[in-house]
Structure 1
Amino acid sequence: MRPTFPAAALAALIALPAAAEPVIEIRDAYARASNTMAGAAFMVIENTGTSPDRLVAAASDSAARVELHTHVMDGDVMRMIHVEEGFEIPAGDSVLLERGGKHVMFMGLSAPFEDGAGLEVTLTFETAGEIVVEVPVDQERMPAEMGHDTMDHGTMDHGHADHGGS
């Protein structure tokens, strides 16, 4: 008679990583255009899983280039920078992508953002993989939790970023 314990133990070990995977949920997404060539998307990314993940890329047919950006103070000037390593999404926590902070940047818009329209955005996570999100355009929205209601991407010093070309 063969022992069943080793097979059962192996099956349990194989199942463990799946239970530890991040579970990513996207909430409260919206997009705005700062001008006819650039815009941004904002949202809450929640990881309800038990291991961290990282948002590493974003893509959309709505723009020639889509990047993950944030803002940093450089002396007296707020600068927007491309965050090549992406954004960590801690286990059991959420990350707010907001105006004046972390966000998804659209450069070289394929068409102007129209209020009420939707943009299909693919978010790529290291572990969770690709998640496609329909992001509504809301040019008037000013979230209460934001705290940077007056920030304007169109007048900000974007450093060496080219927001208009491909």
Structure 2
Amino acid sequence: MTFPFRAGLAAALSLAAAPALAHAVLAVTQASPNQTYRGVVQIGHGCDGKPTTGLTVTIPDGVVAAKPMPKAGWQLSTVKGAYARPIPSHHGTITEGVKEIAWTGGSLPDDQYDEFVFQARLTDAVAPGGTVYFPVRQQCDGAVVDWREVPAAGQSARDLKSPAPGVRIVAAASTAPAAAAPAGPVKAGDLTIEQPWIRATPGGAKVAGGYLQVTNTGTEPDRLVSASIPLAGRGEVHQMSMDKGVAKMAPVDAGLVIKPGETVVLKPGGYHLMFLDLKGPVKAGDTLEGSLTFARAGTVPVRFAVGAIGASAPEAAGGHQHH
């Protein structure tokens, strides 16, 4: 399934196309329907050696509640429009939202790299097995590249001159009972994920902390960019630090890097997962099906053991998982 953007916009963009020596790709190329998606547009080159001075992302049908991240040194603007159909949400039915995001007024030299970040929600209009495309317009000093081409059935995006960045839609992690599979290390390509667990929450809590250990045995770095469980509206990577005796917590916007040969431990008081917008309590002793999303390894199903409120480490677990 694909979601083409407005024909008028496509025509306007095609008139401005320039030779494409740049690259515009999304860091996370897999996601599930009815989940929050963190879009990270990566720009690795300018246009024919010229610096990038603007970037515009079109939000396609089936993707709602888009919010851009401000970027230092760049001006941010959005264009709103009507959705293809009304979308139910926790705050009522929504019929319109951001359809276009633009960062302008900056200057990214051809020999430097940067990222442009937005957040949006994939609705159930985006079916597993399909791909949703986010057309990107890259403006440079005197040149424009439109990353808007969508492959035809049976065609590879590699065959296109200016392919639109795409996100392949995969089924959400199963909510089957915990007894369906034993807990243990999860293999995902070069990554080994161990001891994913979550602290139990008191009644009425809206957030929960998650923890794990991940080892990269490959030769390329990867990044942990998000997580999900059925009870949470979204899951982010956060870092806790101390500043003059005061604990501060902040999201790791570009994701947590796992370098080749490195083991990264997410634990209380440091890097951790933050599950937000909880729909109910996380109960000690339960096991929750969920997923972790990596920039290279994609979305990886995992099972989170639930420890006690305030626990500092997970309960012992046995068995193995493989992905």
Which TM-score tier does this pair reach, normalised by the shorter chain? 0.5 to 0.7
Q: Which has the higher contact order (CA 8 A, sep 6+)?
A: 1
1:31 pairs with one of 198, 201, 211: 198
CA distance in 2, matches of 1:128, 1:29: 17
Aligned residues: 124
Answering whether residue 307 of structure 2 is matched by residue 123 of structure 1, we say no
Answering whether residue 266 of structure 2 is matched by residue 100 of structure 1, we say no
Corresponding residue for residue 18 of structure 1 = none
Answering whether residue 312 of structure 2 is matched by residue 142 of structure 1, we say yes
Which string of whole-angstrom CA distances, capped at 9 and with x for unpartnered residues, describes residues 93-120 of structure 1?
A: 1100000111110122111011111122
Task: Note the C-alpha offset of 1:72.
Answer: 2.1
Structure 1 residue runs of 5 or longer lacking an equivalent are 1-20, 145-166
Task: Tell me the TM-score normalized by structure 1.
Answer: 0.68
CA distance in 2, matches of 1:63, 1:109: 4
Identity over the aligned pairs, expressed in percent? 35
Q: Does the Cα contact within 8 Å between 1:22 and 1:128 map onto a contact in 2?
A: yes
Corresponding residue for residue 257 of structure 2 = 88
* CA gap 1:44/1:55 in 2 versus in 1, 3 angstroms: same
Q: Choose 21-30 or 53-62, whichever is displaced more.
A: 21-30
CA distance in 1, matches of 2:249, 2:189: 29
Task: Note the C-alpha offset of 1:65.
Answer: 2.6
Task: Note the C-alpha offset of 1:82.
Answer: 0.9
CA distance in 1, matches of 2:189, 2:263: 12
Corresponding residue for residue 15 of structure 2 = none
Q: Does the Cα contact within 8 Å between 1:58 and 1:104 map onto a contact in 2?
A: yes
Corresponding residue for residue 119 of structure 2 = none
Task: Tell me the TM-score normalized by structure 2.
Answer: 0.36
Q: Choose 97-106 or 112-121, whichever is displaced more.
A: 112-121
Q: Does the Cα contact within 8 Å between 1:54 and 1:87 map onto a contact in 2?
A: yes
SS at match of 1:61: coil
CA distance in 1, matches of 2:189, 2:243: 34
SS at match of 2:192: strand
Q: Does the Cα contact within 8 Å between 1:22 and 1:127 map onto a contact in 2?
A: no
For the aligned residue pairs, the C-alpha RMSD in angstroms reads: 2.0
SS at match of 1:85: coil
